[in-house]
Amino acid sequence: MADLIRSLRESQKGKVKRAVFLANLAPIKEALEGGYSLHTVWKVSVEIGTLEMSYPQFCRYAKAFIPTDPAPETGVKRKPSNSSLPQQFRHSAIPLDKDELV
């Protein structure tokens, strides 16, 4: 029976850590909105004992559960490509006249 409980507990470690992350989601979002980096938020959370997970796992949870805003537009617009322009510059390697040489 003890082995079964131990194996069940081991198989649910990820679910427990995910639940702990979700329980701390509000302060994590607040810190990120305050300008702190993911690494700083993770490091402080581990040091104070609110989270016990690796940084890569923390990043996966953050990517999955914290929505990110799309990058703001800079207002710079690209010129549309003009298909009538030549794709390559081509020139003759042999000059037509020696006077054309520089």
Residue 71 pLDDT > 80, yes or no?
no
Angle among Cα 53, 30, 28 to the nearest 5 degrees reads: 5
Q: Is 14 helix (H, G, I), strand (E, B) or coil?
A: helix
Kindly report, residue by residue over 72-91, the tens digit of the pLDDT: 666 666 665 556 665 677 77
**Any residues with CB less than 8 A from the CB of 45 and at least 6 apart, and which?**
24, 28, 51, 58
Q: Note the residue count of the chain.
A: 102
Residue 48 pLDDT > 60, yes or no?
yes
Residue 8 pLDDT > 60, yes or no?
no
Q: What is the pLDDT of residue 92?
A: 73
Burial of 38 (0-12, 13-18, 19+ CB in 10 A): middle
Q: What is the pLDDT of residue 68?
A: 78
